[in-house]
Amino acid sequence: MYNDMQRFEARAFLCLLLGVSLLFGWLLLPFFDVLFWAVVIGVLFTPINKILCHRLRLGPSPAALLTVLFCLVVIILPLLWLIYSCVEEATALYARLSQETSTVADMVDRLKEAFPSVQNWLAQYGYDATRIKKELSSLALSAGGILARNTVAFGGGAAHFLTNLALVLYLSFFLVRDGWRLRNILVRALPFGDHREERLFSKFVEVMRATVKGSLLVAVAQGALGGLIFWILDIRAAMLWGVVMTVLSLIPVVGAALVWLPTAVYLALSGHYWQGIILMTYGACVIGLADNLLRPLLVGRDTKLPDFLVLLSTLGGFAMFGMDGFVTGPILAVLFVTVWQIFMEERQCSTVQEPETVSQP
């Protein structure tokens, strides 16, 4: 009777523990982005904090404060300037699209002259030149309207954005300073076995650093290279298109080619042959090869997932978590693979160590 009561109390406490944990997680759900990016900063900049502590003999709090300030100056402030510049270019682009709708009609006329057979083929399906001009003009204005609405939303949410940024930096300070303590507490608290938890945490840190360095830095490099060639070729809103290429470069396989390839084709078809050839050659030989050259240097071979799994996990991450998905998607995929690897290894070991039964006559 006494043992039954103990088991009942233990199960009741576990239910209480699970319920309180789920409730607390639900309470923090609105701050998921804040917590996520604070963890990213804590993981990425912990090596700098260790250097400040061990080599410069700084205390834990001053070293963590300098680490967060370093992140603010090197990454966050330049990123804010880039966002502000893109908002300005997006607003100016919308104004030009609203005033220069005849540009779309001129483009359709030039394409019709260059490829009359394509126009005749489209006409069979009801897409004559007038309809194409109308729909392309409507599409251009709709895209510009989306840019303008997002610009207004960004300006209206500036206070919210700055508040979240302050929270990210505040939490990052404690994660940089006390991250190792939190890790040890989680290892002691989680019921999965310390050796498994150590392996999962190590893989989590390894994959997060590799993903941010590999995906984000490669995307930034491709976007910068694309924006540079757009600026050299005097294509409007070069910085804005560079940022768009940076975002698209986070998606494997397709990437920045979704911007520079149609632009190169349009330049060639509209009579700017040399600009189109230069952009296409530059995109294939420089922008396209940046991923193949930089990613192996920035990402270890141990964390590399199959290409199809990277694509699916990244797209799934974007669908579930928004812009955070380029990190959360691959991390979940690698943790999924790691958990199954641990399971298969331990099952194989238990199968090998299981004594064989010999039937006696």
Residue 266 lies in a domain: yes
Domain span at residue 180?
32-189
And the tokens for 273? 């042959």
Measured in whole angstroms, the distance separating CA 265 from the mean position of its chain's CA atoms is 28
Structural domain total, the chain: 2
pLDDT for residue 23: 92
The reply to whether 207 and 324 lie within a common domain is: yes
The reply to whether 165 and 36 lie within a common domain is: yes
The reply to whether 38 and 184 lie within a common domain is: yes
The reply to whether 142 and 212 lie within a common domain is: no
pLDDT for residue 129: 55
CA distance linking residue 361 with residue 359, whole number of Å: 7
pLDDT for residue 162: 79
The reply to whether 54 and 122 lie within a common domain is: yes
Instruction: Record the pTM.
Output: 0.67
The reply to whether 263 and 299 lie within a common domain is: yes
pLDDT for residue 41: 87
The reply to whether 185 and 88 lie within a common domain is: yes
Domain final position from 189, 210, 229: 189
The reply to whether 214 and 184 lie within a common domain is: no
pLDDT for residue 321: 79
The reply to whether 41 and 183 lie within a common domain is: yes
The reply to whether 294 and 247 lie within a common domain is: yes
Burial of 343 (0-12, 13-18, 19+ CB in 10 A): exposed
Chunked in runs of 10, what are the mean pLDDT values of the chain (361 residues)?
A: 74 88 89 87 86 84 89 80 71 61 56 58 58 56 53 56 85 88 82 80 80 77 87 82 80 74 79 84 83 64 65 80 77 84 80 54 44
Domain final position from 189, 223, 243: 189
∠ CA 157-259-229, rounded to 5°: 100
Residue 319 lies in a domain: yes
The reply to whether 198 and 163 lie within a common domain is: no
pLDDT for residue 149: 52
The reply to whether 169 and 236 lie within a common domain is: no
pLDDT for residue 358: 44
Burial of 292 (0-12, 13-18, 19+ CB in 10 A): exposed
pLDDT for residue 32: 86
Cα-based distances in Å from 241 to 85, 154, 300 = 12, 18, 30
